[in-house]
Copies of this chain bind each other. A is one copy, B any other.
Amino acid sequence: MFEVRRLQINYKTLEEFQKFREFGLEELSMKEDLEANIVENDSESPFYGIYDNDLLVARMSLYKIDGKYDRYFQPTQDYYELWKLEVLPDYRKKDYGTALVNHAKSFGAPIKTNSRCRADQFWLNMGFTPVKYNPMRDRGENPYVWLPENVGLQD
């Protein structure tokens, strides 16, 4: 059995993030904020994860976007951007990725992600659909979205 947990911002979490392929300015910025006491130790982060025997083996970031910046959904509304979904190589094929995405869907708001490295089939299996590519808005991304009931796409 496993559960999806909201990850807290602390040095232990940041150390665990080092094992993931996608690691960059977002994580470094969290570290700086912690060091400068701009965020408190153990405050809530936008990251959710799954532990296997006390080891963080899967994670995603789920970032709430205010409806006034919404360029995807109809009617325009608050939605989530999901990024950095990643399962450590030795822990794949256990549905950890699916569990994280289902957790994101459980909040009931629309979700937008960027399907990378030809993961399209995974997102289709998760009930996401590709949008019509708009170069100025999408800038090289492959946006896939999940629509709750009564939510459509812009244009």
Contacts and interface: CB of A to CB of B under 8 A. Distances in A.
Interface string A14-46: 000000011111101100000000000000001
Given A26-B133, A29-B133, A140 B61 contact: yes
A15 B63 CA distance: 36
Interface in A103-154: 115-118, 120, 130-133, 135-136, 138-143
Nearest to A84: B140
A43 to B, nearest CB: 14
Interface residues of A, number: 32
Interface in A60-107: 61, 63, 69, 81, 83-84
B83 A117 contact: no
8 contacts: A22-B117, A24-B118, A25-B130, A26-B133, A26-B138, A26-B142, A29-B133, A46-B135
